[in-house]
Structure formats: structure tokens, C-alpha cells
């Protein structure tokens, strides 16, 4: 199943067309972004019966997703419409996939292969913030306490995706910066991922080419308000989302979930905190600790190419751009907590990293940092 993707200003107005003959629509949305933008007005104009599951929280817990699925099973919608950020997209996926099933959510998260490849409920995704790429992927993140779980299955991929940059016009700069960090991290990680294909790597490189000048302009201006800037950010984030749907992410994401679940750090910012030191770590891969199928030279060459793109676009390396986004998000003084990272590094995401990462590596890199020029952190060699 390949989503039908439409991207451009005003694209949310195409909702009636993509919903087609659906007569019962369940709208899954967040706590704020749905009603302050034009998406609510587009839904109000639908010639269909509509019910709402509202107030999706960031990093949705099992209990909330179970609640949304229970509503869908009672309502039996023809279509599920997700309108919001990455967490909303993830809940909408779970609802569409499991609305017609009778099993327990936690069981399907543990064994997604038990699900059929197709579902009867149509899934439409409309992101209101650019960055997560979740609208284009076939996996959803759910939290069980401090533990991150994933519904990873082809049936979680949307039927239709409407990416309307105008919906992001009211997103606060702090939130937009974290989401932009997520998009940049996905592009970089997809490029160096062990499981990347030539196509996914090409998408990832195009995403970095698209994102770096946009993020340079946004961090210089302190805002993501320009319509042209929002459109390019949406395009870059979509490219990154499409890339990771094939390659998946790597150690920066694997290490981010503890910062989100235990310390409340926004997902994109948590990823950025680890991405900035992993760039140098992966660039120093040797034959002894290399995981990349093309040899230790491959990650070095990939990172050299990505750095050159960023230098050409911004005049500075990727680490500097990450620092500027972290500062924009408000994490100028954040210090990554000292903890045992072994469990985080046992995941498939960590195994997808092109160079072996140990708990000792994380501790060494995250404990040897200082403030640098007011722009976050730089590891001492």
C-alpha cells in the first residue's frame, strides 16, 4: 500500500475528495492545533457523519490509545482521519488498523505479524506540524510507562496524505524547532542506516538538501512564519518520512526515548541531543566496529557528503545547525542525564546504526561536553 500524497498550501480543502464515499468518519486530533487552524472548518463542511476523538497527548500511552480504539469499535467508522502532530498520526494508525479487530492492543504491539496485511477502514492523515514524517510511515509509537512500544505493520500506512503547510502557521517556534530537529535527524539517520537502500538514501540526501537552508533561515529569524519557508520545511520533512519508512532510524532515535519518557524532553529535541555527537562517532567507524554493509568507508563518505551539503547551505557543519535548533527549542543548558544506556542500545534502531555504540560510548560523549559560543554543546576530542 503506497499513500496517495498531496502537498501544497490549501491542500486540506481536498478532504471531501479523498474521503470519497465514506459516510462515517472518526476524526482523531490533538488538544490545540485542530481548532486553531483551517482543518476544523474543512471537517465541518464534510457531507458525512463525524465523531471526534480529541485531546491526544504527546507520546501517547497505552491507556489513551486503548480508549481511542474502543470508541472506533463502538462507532465502526468507514474512515479514520488523523489531524495533528506525530502523536496524533500514531494514534490514528492504531485506531484504523485495530478498529475492526477484537484483540488486545498490547498483544498486537508485541506480535504485529498477527495482523492481516489489509484493513477495511480508510486512513487519511493530515499533519499540522512538519517534522515527524509519521503520516508517511507504517509504524506507530506507543508508551507503556517509560517503555516505548511500536506497531510496525504495512497496514498502518495511510491511504491518503494531505500535507498543507498553512496548517503549521500557528505552531509556536519552540515546538516547530523540535519537530524540525526530528525531520533533520530522520534524514541524516536514514542516509547512514544499515538497512538503507539506494532509493531511501537518495530521498534522505534530498531531504537534507531541502531542510538545511530552511533551518538556517528559521534559526536566523527565530521563527518558521514565512509561507515559503513552511512549504519547503514540509517538503523536506515528507522526504525524510518517506526515507525512514524504508530504512528506519538508528541510534539517535533509540537513545532519545528515555529522555522523552523519563525527562519530558520533546521527541525531536531528544533525538537532536544524541544526533549531534553520533555524527562524529559514526564518522570515525573502523573495520572493527563497523556495521555498514558497504564497509567502514561508507558511513565516513556519507557523513562527509551530508556535512558538505550543510556547509554549502549554511556555512557551518550539521552540529552547529543542531545546536541552533536546540537553543531555539529552549535547551541551551540541558545536560543529558548520566544513566545506564544498555537497554536502549538493545533495540533494532540501535542495531541499524552504521557503527557499534556501547553504553560507555554514550557516557563518554555526553559527559564530556561544555557550552560552546552560547549554542548548546560540543564534545571535546
Q: Is 354 helix (H, G, I), strand (E, B) or coil?
A: coil
For residue 381, the model assigns a pLDDT of 29
pLDDT value of residue 368: 54
Side-chain half-sphere exposure of 185, counting CA atoms within 13 A: 34
Which one, of 288, 183, 283, lies nearest residue 237 by Cα? Answer: 183
Alpha-carbon gap, residue 310 to 307, rounded angstroms: 5
pLDDT for 198 equals 97
What residue has cell string 510511515? 137
CATH of domain 4-168: 3.40.50.1970
| Max CA separation in the chain (angstroms) | 62
The C-alpha cell of 378 is what?
560540543
In sequence order, what DSSP letters do the residues of 333-377 get, joined into one string? T--PPP---TTGGGSHHHHTSSB---HHHHHHHHHSEEE-TTSSE
Q: 173-379, superfamily in CATH?
A: Dehydroquinate synthase-like - alpha domain (1.20.1090.10)
Q: Which residue has the higher pLDDT, 208 or 373?
A: 208
Q: In a 10 Å sphere around its CB, with 0-12 CB exposed, 13-18 middle and 19+ buried, how is residue 308 labelled?
A: exposed
Domain residue extents for the chain? 4-168, 173-379
More confident residue, 343 or 375: 343
Is 50's pLDDT higher than 80? Answer: yes
Whole-number pLDDT of residue 23: 93
pLDDT on residue 65: 94
Q: What is the pLDDT of residue 374?
A: 35
Per-residue pLDDT at 268: 95
Q: Residue 122 — very low, low, confident or very high, per pLDDT cuts 50/70/90? A: very high
Mean pLDDT of 60-84: 94
Give the tens place of pLDDT for each residue, 314-329: 999 999 999 999 999 9
H or E segment to which residue 80 belongs: strand 79-84
The pLDDT-based confidence of 369 (bands split at 50, 70, 90) is very low
CB 164 within 8 A of CB 8: yes
**CB under 8 Å to 234, separation ≥6 — which residues?**
7, 130, 163, 165, 168
Mean per-residue pLDDT, 89-117: 87
Question: In this predicted structure, what is the pLDDT of residue 109?
Answer: 84
**pLDDT single digits (tens) 150-191:** 898 999 999 999 999 999 988 899 999 999 999 999 999 999
In degrees to the nearest 10, what's the CA dihedral of 174, 175, 178, 182? -160
According to the model, what pLDDT value does residue 228 have?
92
- Vertex 135: Cα angle to 169 and 183 (nearest 5): 65
pLDDT digits 0-9 by tens, 210-228: 999 999 999 999 999 889 9
Confidence (pLDDT) at 53: 95
Comparing C-alpha atoms, which of 85, 100, 167, 92 is closest to residue 124? 92
The pTM of this model reads: 0.91
Amino acid at each position: 500500500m503506497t499513500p496517495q500524497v498531496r502537498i501544497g498550501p490549501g491542500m486540506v480543502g481536498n478532504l471531501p475528495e479523498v474521503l470519497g464515499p465514506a459516510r462515517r468518519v472518526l476524526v482523531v486530533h490533538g488538544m490545540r492545533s485542530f481548532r486553531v487552524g483551517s482543518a476544523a472548518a474543512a471537517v465541518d463542511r464534510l457531507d458525512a457523519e463525524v465523531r471526534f476523538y480529541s485531546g491526544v497527548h504527546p507520546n501517547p500511552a497505552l491507556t489513551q490509545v486503548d480508549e481511542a480504539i474502543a470508541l472506533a469499535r463502538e462507532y465502526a467508522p468507514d474512515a479514520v482521519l488523523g489531524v495533528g502532530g506525530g502523536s496524533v498520526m500514531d494514534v490514528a494508525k492504531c485506531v484504523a488498523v485495530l478498529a475492526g479487530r477484537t484483540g488486545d492492543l498490547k498483544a498486537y504491539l508485541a506480535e504485529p505479524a498477527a495482523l492481516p496485511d489489509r484493513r477495511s477502514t480508510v486512513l487519511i492523515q493530515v499533519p499540522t506540524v512538519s517534522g515527524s514524517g509519521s503520516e508517511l510511515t507504517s509504524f506507530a509509537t506507543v508508551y507503556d510507562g517509560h517503555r516505548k512500544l511500536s506497531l510496525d505493520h504495512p497496514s498502518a500506512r495511510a491511504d491518503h496524505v494531505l500535507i498543507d503547510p498553512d496548517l503549521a502557521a500557528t505552531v509556536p517556534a519552540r515546538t516547530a524547532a523540535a519537530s524540525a530537529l526530528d525531520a533533520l535527524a530522520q534524514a541524516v539517520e536514514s542516509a547512514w542506516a544499515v538497512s538503507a537502500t539506494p532509493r531511501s538514501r537518495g530521498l534522505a540526501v534530498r531531504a537534507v538538501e531541502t531542510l538545511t537552508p530552511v533551518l538556517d533561515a528559521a534559526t536566523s529569524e527565530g521563527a518558521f512564519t514565512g509561507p515559503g519557508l513552511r512549504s519547503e520545511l514540509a517538503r523536506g520533512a515528507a522526504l525524510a518520512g518517506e526515507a525512514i519508512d524504508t530504512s528506519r532510524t538508528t541510534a539517535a532515535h533509540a537513545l532519545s526515548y528515555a529522555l522523552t519518557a523519563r525527562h519530558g524532553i520533546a521527541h525531536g529535541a531528544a533525538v537532536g541531543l544524541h544526533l549531534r555527537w553520533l555524527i562524529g562517532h559514526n564518522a570515525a567507524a573502523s573495520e572493527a566496529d563497523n556495521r555498514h554493509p558497504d564497509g567502514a568507508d561508507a558511513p565516513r563518505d556519507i557523513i562527509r557528503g551530508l556535512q558538505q551539503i550543510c556547509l554549502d547551505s549554511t556555512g557551518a557543519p550539521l552540529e552547529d545547525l543542531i545546536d541552533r535548533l536546540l537553543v531555539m527549542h529552549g535547551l541551551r543548558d540541558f545536560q543529558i542525564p548520566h544513566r545506564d544506556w544498555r537497554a536502549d542500545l538493545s533495540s533494532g534502531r540501535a542495531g541499524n546504526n552504521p557503527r557499534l555504540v556501547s553504553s560507555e560510548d554514550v557516557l563518554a560523549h555526553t559527559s564530556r561536553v561544555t557550552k560552546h559560543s552560547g549554542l548548546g554543546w560540543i564534545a571535546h576530542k
